[in-house]
């Protein structure tokens, strides 16, 4: 295109006139100017207002709109609050009650002898009563009491001698009989409590510990598994119908979202420990529904606000996020003068607000009635006592033992117990046992544990083992506590390390070699022997000689130590000491030097030789 | 002595003129709610609805008559079972009752926690030995098929 003459351009921009030379039609195209007086200042707006008048403005793409909204929000100064800082809203009190459904670990279902399975062929474990065949009757399977009672005892509940089953009526394709058999009026366990400590991850505002009361624990049936298919079709697998569940209902005593998440986490740990519920939230074995209500802190009337129920929470993070979102929504409603409706809401992972599932009008009337087909459940007291005594050491007691007797930090103890579904801590015990045996130190009966040994073993089981691979699955940890690094071999490694026969650096290399399979089982000592990896430490004299060698010309540094010795310095110049230690390490044969010994020798030489030497120079 | 009857079943039914002046009526809204709860179809015509309400009212009259009985201190009957001490003892679940199941668990690990052994085959007493999928009106592979859209009968 030829260059447009400046005159024509200026006529177009300032007067709106387009030359019609060469146009097909004779009529002039004239665009009226906005203002003639302030032309230069309005130059830019002028151009924009004139240019696209013939065509419509293209709609801004959605992505651009959202980006601009986010930018505006950011510019207005509203930053996203961190969850740790978002536990309370000033002026408001949050109250949360939780209902947890956990699948019991039993061989058979609750009211039929069909097998309790997981991921078996669909519809392969279905009894006549499970699909409500006319004429079929429920037959209570007493062995389902074993995990149920243990779970209730772990939550410090009182087991009722007599409890009864009730029917909860509602129609859904996953409930063939049209009612769920539950224990609404007379549950088998009541009035329990669970204590949460700071180390369990409760909100900082709850202090050192908080005790959450448990109203009741009841047994009930599970429903069928539904898989949604395209075209509004559902595929049903009735293997899960009739599988025993326990429902744990808490009192509304939780006041912070992080504490609610910590509570659900702790319940999962407790149930796993007594073998009551072995599949966690991620596998769908544990589900939580939360009831949320808010009221003002200066509210004198003493009643709680209207509560809403949030269903379908499938992870601990979702519990905390959903409670925060619902609390904020309810506060917004109340502050704008509205009224919170008692409804059922849902939460999807990644959303910012809960969704309404069912309003009060859709509130279901369950028409609870005692089930006449089933007799009462009568539990003998000696059975309860037997189940209590065979539950083993409670997780809290184990954590306390690890901290107090074995000398671990609270964080390390919790991590160790949580890793590999509880297998890592078994591995740690195995390693420690083997180590103690090799050292011949502790006999099996003594209670006192050598804390130096236990902390060494814990460090290696937790941190060094973790460094070997990114995915902890790759360690191949079995539930009995064995993995690709056999506990006996790690114990042999730590045995040599503890006796200072090898350096830490060498030990780490050996660990890596064991993991990769380069060292055969039981061949640790041989490998050290074969590759001559023994630590032949330098003698004291050799250390001293090296130190003297390094210190030459470092009078300025030594001056710092003199100043401290004379009382002129504020603190011992540790940094300068480590500088000298580093210099010594670099000067001599590294594989023959122990940093701790070097530090000790250098410190001693400073005090005994160098400082007096400096003083004599002055 | 037995010549004159002292009581008749007719006392449990509403007499014709007892209209709905004193007792509260069942509104059509309540009737529809009850029908929906029971997954029953709504009445086909206004006359059908009227007759349904009339039947329901006569049944409620009967129920109110029964409710006049004084039941203070009487525990409601849930089902007919042996409620004697011996019966309760027989029904109670003890360590003996669960002996077989308790043998199938082991105490393992450092903390001696219980663990159900998974290698033991489960005896389902023949309860699974029937063709469950044969009862499906619609199926795909080993799944029952249900249509979930609105407006589907």
Minimum-distance CB partner of A378 among B92, B109, B128: B92
pLDDT recorded at residue A94: 94
Q: At residue B65, does pLDDT exceed 90?
A: no
Split at pLDDT 50, 70, 90, the class of A51 is: very low
pLDDT recorded at residue A525: 84
pLDDT digit string (tens) for A434-492? 988 888 765 555 556 788 889 999 999 999 888 888 877 788 888 888 888 888 899 99
CB contact under 8 A, B148 and A232: yes
Q: At residue B106, does pLDDT exceed 80?
A: yes
Contacts across the A-B interface (CB distance below 8 Å) = 157
Residues of B with Cβ-Cβ distance to A227 under 8 angstroms: 143
Cα torsion angle, A271, A273, A278, A281, sign: positive
pLDDT above 90 covers a percentage of chain A that reads: 43
Contact B49, B41 (CB under 8 A): no
Chain A residue with the nearest C-alpha to that of B105: A275
pLDDT recorded at residue A53: 46
Q: Alpha-carbon distance A550 to A554, whole Å?
A: 8
Q: Where are the alpha helices (DSSP H) in A469-589?
A: 487-498, 504-515, 524-531, 540-551, 555-565, 574-587
Contacts of A358 (CB under 8 A, 6+ apart): A343, A344, A364
Angle at A372 between CA A371 and CA A376, to 5 degrees: 75
Residues of A with Cβ-Cβ distance to B112 under 8 angstroms: 392-393
Q: Count the alpha carbons within 13 Å of A408 in the hemisphere toward its beta carbon.
A: 26
- Cα–Cα distances in angstroms (integers) from residue B76 to residues A79, A180, A231, A370, in the given order: 60, 22, 49, 10
pLDDT above 70 covers a percentage of chain A that reads: 91
SS (H, E, C) A22-75: CCCCCCCCECCCCCCCCCCCCHHHHHHHHCCCCCCCCCCCHHHHHHHHHHHHHH
Split at pLDDT 50, 70, 90, the class of A568 is: confident
Split at pLDDT 50, 70, 90, the class of A14 is: confident
Minimum-distance CB partner of B37 among A113, A365, A392: A365
| Residue A79 DSSP code | P
pLDDT recorded at residue A550: 83
Contacts of B129 (CB under 8 A, 6+ apart): none
* Mean local confidence (pLDDT), A316-334: 93
pLDDT digit string (tens) for A251-298? 999 999 999 999 999 999 999 999 999 888 888 899 999 999 999 988
Residue B139: phi and psi, rounded to 5, are: -145, 155
Contact A524, A514 (CB under 8 A): yes
Query: What SS3 state is found at A176?
Result: coil
Lowest mean pLDDT: which of A94-98, A182-186, A503-507?
A503-507
The minimum CA-CA distance between B8 and chain A, rounded to whole Å, is 30
pLDDT digit string (tens) for B113-136? 999 998 888 999 999 999 999 989
- How deeply is A313 buried, as exposed, middle or buried, from its count of CB atoms within 10 A (0-12, 13-18, 19+)? buried
pLDDT recorded at residue A46: 47
pLDDT digit string (tens) for A480-495? 888 888 888 999 989 9
pLDDT recorded at residue A166: 96
Contacts of A226 (CB under 8 A, 6+ apart): A173, A174, A234, A235, A236, A237
Chain A residue with the nearest C-alpha to that of B128: A127
Greater confidence (A114 vs A362) lies with: A114
pLDDT digit string (tens) for A69-94? 778 777 766 566 778 888 888 889 99
Q: At residue A582, does pLDDT exceed 50?
A: yes
Which of A479, A477, A475 has the alpha carbon at shortest distance from A517?
A475
pLDDT recorded at residue A18: 82
Place of tokens 């009445």: B43
pLDDT recorded at residue B50: 92
Which of B130, A262, A488 has the alpha carbon at shortest distance from A270?
A262
CB atoms within 10 A of CB A228: 10
Chain A residue with the nearest C-alpha to that of B33: A365
Residues of B with Cβ-Cβ distance to A135 under 8 angstroms: none
Structural domain spans, chain A: 92-224+238-378, 393-530, 540-617
CB contact under 8 A, B142 and A142: no
The minimum CA-CA distance between A121 and chain B, rounded to whole Å, is 8
CB contact under 8 A, A169 and B37: yes
Chain A residue with the nearest C-alpha to that of B93: A379
Q: At residue A552, does pLDDT exceed 80?
A: yes
pLDDT recorded at residue A586: 87
pLDDT digit string (tens) for A29-48? 555 554 444 444 444 444 44
Give the strand pairing for A244-250 and A209-221.
antiparallel
pLDDT recorded at residue B4: 87
CB contact under 8 A, A375 and B115: no
Contact A159, A152 (CB under 8 A): yes
Q: Alpha-carbon distance B30 to B41, whole Å?
A: 14
Greater confidence (A104 vs A609) lies with: A104
Q: Model ipTM?
A: 0.87
The full length of chain B comes to: 153
Q: At residue A201, does pLDDT exceed 60?
A: yes
CB contact under 8 A, B116 and A126: no
The minimum CA-CA distance between A73 and chain B, rounded to whole Å, is 40
Place of tokens 């939550």: A155
Residues of B with Cβ-Cβ distance to A425 under 8 angstroms: 110
Minimum-distance CB partner of A376 among B91, B105, B146: B91
Q: At residue A54, does pLDDT exceed 70?
A: no
pLDDT digit string (tens) for B5-47? 888 888 888 776 555 555 668 899 999 988 988 889 999 999 9
CB contact under 8 A, B127 and A114: yes
pLDDT recorded at residue A196: 95
Q: At residue A592, does pLDDT exceed 50?
A: yes
User: Which residues make beta-bridge pairs with A437?
Assistant: none
pLDDT digit string (tens) for A203-227? 999 899 999 999 999 999 999 999 9
CB contact under 8 A, B145 and A235: yes
Q: At residue A177, does pLDDT exceed 80?
A: yes
**Helix pair angle (A487-498, A451-459), 10° resolution:** 120
* Mean local confidence (pLDDT), A129-145: 95
Give the strand pairing for A92-103 and A244-250.
antiparallel
């Amino acid at each position: 295109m030829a260059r447009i003459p400046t005159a024509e351009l200026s006529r177009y921009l300032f007067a709106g006139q387009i030359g019609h030379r060469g146009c097909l039609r004779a009529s002039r195209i004239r665009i009226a100017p906005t203002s003639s007086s302030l032309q230069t200042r309005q130059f830019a707006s002028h151009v924009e207002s004139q240019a696209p008048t013939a065509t419509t403005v293209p709609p801004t793409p959605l992505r651009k709109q959202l980006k601009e909204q986010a930018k505006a929000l950011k510019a207005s100064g509203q930053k996203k609050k961190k969850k740790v800082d978002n536990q309370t809203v000033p002026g408001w009190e949050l109250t949360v009650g939780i209902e947890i459904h956990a699948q019991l670990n039993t061989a058979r279902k609750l009211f039929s002898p069909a097998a309790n399975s997981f991921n078996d062929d669909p519809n392969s474990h279905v009894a006549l009563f499970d699909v409500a065949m006319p004429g079929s009757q429920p037959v209570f399977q007493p062995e389902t009491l074993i995990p149920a009672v243990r779970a209730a005892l772990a939550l410090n509940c009182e087991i009722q001698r007599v409890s009864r089953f009730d029917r909860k009526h509602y129609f859904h394709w996953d409930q063939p009989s049209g009612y769920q058999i539950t224990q609404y009026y007379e549950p088998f366990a009541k009035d329990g409590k669970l204590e949460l400590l700071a180390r369990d991850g409760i909100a900082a505002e709850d202090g050192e510990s908080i005790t959450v009361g448990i109203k009741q624990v009841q047994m009930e049936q599970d429903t069928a598994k539904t898989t949604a298919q395209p075209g509004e079709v559902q595929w049903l697998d009735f293997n899960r119908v009739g599988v025993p569940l326990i429902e744990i209902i808490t009192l509304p005593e939780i006041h912070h979202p992080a504490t609610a998440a910590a509570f659900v986490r702790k319940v999962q740990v407790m149930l796993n420990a007594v073998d009551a519920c072995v599949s966690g939230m991620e596998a769908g074995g544990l589900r939580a529904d939360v009831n949320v209500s808010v009221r003002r802190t200066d509210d004198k009337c003493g009643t709680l606000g209207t509560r809403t129920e949030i269903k379908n929470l499938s992870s601990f993070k979702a519990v905390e996020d959903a409670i925060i979102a619902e609390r904020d929504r309810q506060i917004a409603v109340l502050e704008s003068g509205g009224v919170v409706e008692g409804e059922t809401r849902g939460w999807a992972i990644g959303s910012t607000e809960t969704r309404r599932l069912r309003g009060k009008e859709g509130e279901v009337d369950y028409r609870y009635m005692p089930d006449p087909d089933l007799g009462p459940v009568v539990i003998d007291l000696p059975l309860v006592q037997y189940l209590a005594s065979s539950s083993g050491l409670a997780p809290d007691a184990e954590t306390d033992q690890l901290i107090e007797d074995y000398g671990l930090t609270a964080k390390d103890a919790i991590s160790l117990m949580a890793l590999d579904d509880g297998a890592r801590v078994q591995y740690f015990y195995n390693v420690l046992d083997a180590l103690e045996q090799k050292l011949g130190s502790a006999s099996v009966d003594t209670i006192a544990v050598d804390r130096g040994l236990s902390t060494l073993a814990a460090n290696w089981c937790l941190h060094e083992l973790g460094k070997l691979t990114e995915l902890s699955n790759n360690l191949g940890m079995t539930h009995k506590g064995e993995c690709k690094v056999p506990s006996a071999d790690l114990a042999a490694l730590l045995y040599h390390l503890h006796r200072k026969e090898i350096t830490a650096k060498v030990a780490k290399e050996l660990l890596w070699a064991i993991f990769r399979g380069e060292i055969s089982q039981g061949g640790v000592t041989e490998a050290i022997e074969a590759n001559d990896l023994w630590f032949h430490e330098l003698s004291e004299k050799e250390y001293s000689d090296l130190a003297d060698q390094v210190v030459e010309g470092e009078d300025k540094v030594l001056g710092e130590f003199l100043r401290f010795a004379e009382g002129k310095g504020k603190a011992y110049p540790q940094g300068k000491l480590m500088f000298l230690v580093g210099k010594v390490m670099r000067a001599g044969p590294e594989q023959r030097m122990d940093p701790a010994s070097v530090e000790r020798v250098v410190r001693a030489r400073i005090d005994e030789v160098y400082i007096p030497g400096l003083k004599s120079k002055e | 002595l037995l010549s004159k009857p002292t009581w008749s079943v007719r006392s449990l039914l509403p007499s014709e003129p007892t209209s709905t002046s004193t007792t509260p009526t069942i509104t059509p809204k309540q009737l529809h709610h009850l029908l929906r709860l029971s997954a029953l179809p709504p009445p086909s015509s206004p006359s059908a609805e009227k007759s349904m309400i009339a039947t329901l009212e006569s049944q409620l009259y009967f129920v109110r008559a029964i409710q006049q009985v004084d039941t203070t201190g009487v525990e409601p009957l849930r089902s007919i079972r042996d409620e004697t001490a011996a019966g309760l003892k027989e029904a109670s679940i003890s360590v003996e009752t669960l002996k077989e199941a308790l043998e199938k668990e082991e105490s393992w690990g450092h903390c001696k926690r219980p663990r159900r052994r998974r290698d033991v085959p489960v005896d389902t007493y023949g309860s699974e030995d029937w063709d469950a999928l044969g009862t499906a009106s619609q199926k795909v592979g080993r799944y029952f098929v249900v249509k979930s859209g609105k407006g589907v009968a």
